[in-house]
Amino acid sequence: MLFSNSDFTDVDRVRAAGLPDGPPGKRWDVLYVCRPGRRAALAKDWDLARACLRRLCAELGLRVLVVGRFDAPDLPGLEVKDAVAWADYLGLVARSRMVLIPHRLDASPRALPEALALDVPVLVRDDLLGGWKYVAPATGAFFTDDGDVGDTAARLLGQDVAPAAWLAAHYGRERAERRLADFLRTLDADLPHERVSIAGRISP
């Protein structure tokens, strides 16, 4: 059964935090986030991200925001911000035209459905272990490495997308709770409703 903790993302909560005054204007073309530290750099594939940023900034001239990494390369169009609180981060996502997800080991990052909930498409590494299920023509595109990330980003910027509508039709917390409840009842048809309800709310 394909199930991720990120499936329980509360879309209404994300939109309330990230879009308090409605959809904002776009300031950046691409956003990438990675907290300081070696472990985060590995999980978020900082090495590949840096190579991709060079392509996106130097070759395409895109405006890129990096959140959390002050060791980012010095490139034209690249801006760096310190790690921020969750609601502030969502506000930055909402002001971006896409989110870069070069991860492989961070199997199903919550950043994916959060971006979609804010109606922001995603540019995702094609061998991500779990979050690939959120990528469709309406939500974003896959890339392989820094060799094709530029062309893929350029296509995505011109692509007709509807991330929030797609997410609402396929995922979201209530839908995930129902799926989990249905699965639990295949294991125990007599499982009390109260226990199913609690199990469906294991994620904050």
pLDDT values of the chain reduced to their tens digit, one per residue, 204 residues: 666 777 888 999 999 999 999 999 999 999 999 999 999 999 999 999 999 999 999 889 999 999 999 999 899 999 999 999 999 999 999 999 999 999 988 777 899 999 999 999 999 999 998 888 999 999 999 999 999 999 999 999 999 999 999 999 988 777 767 777 677 777 777 777 665 555 445 444
Is residue 197 included in any domain, yes or no?
no
pLDDT of the residue at 55 = 95
What's 34's DSSP letter? -
CATH number, domain containing residue 141: 3.40.50.2000
Is residue 203 included in any domain, yes or no?
no
Is residue 178 included in any domain, yes or no?
no
Is residue 126 included in any domain, yes or no?
yes
DSSP H/E element including 88 = helix 86-94
Alpha carbons 71 and 50: distance in angstroms, whole number:
10
DSSP H/E element including 32 = strand 30-33
Is residue 97 included in any domain, yes or no?
yes
- The amino acid at 203: S
Q: Torsion angle of alpha carbons 36, 88, 76, 62, nearest 10°?
A: 120
Q: Domain range spanning residue 72?
A: 9-159
Alpha carbons 78 and 66: distance in angstroms, whole number:
7
Is residue 176 included in any domain, yes or no?
no
Kindly report the pTM of this predicted structure.
0.87
DSSP codes, 9-77:
--HHHHHHHH-BTBSPPP-BSEEEE--SSHHHHHHTTHHHHHHHHHIIIIIT---EEEES-TT----TT
DSSP H/E element including 80 = strand 78-81
pLDDT of the residue at 3 = 65
Alpha carbons 100 and 98: distance in angstroms, whole number:
7
Total domains present in the chain: 1
pLDDT of the residue at 193 = 65
Sequence-separated contacts (24+) of 185-191 with Cβ below 8 Å: none
Is residue 189 included in any domain, yes or no?
no
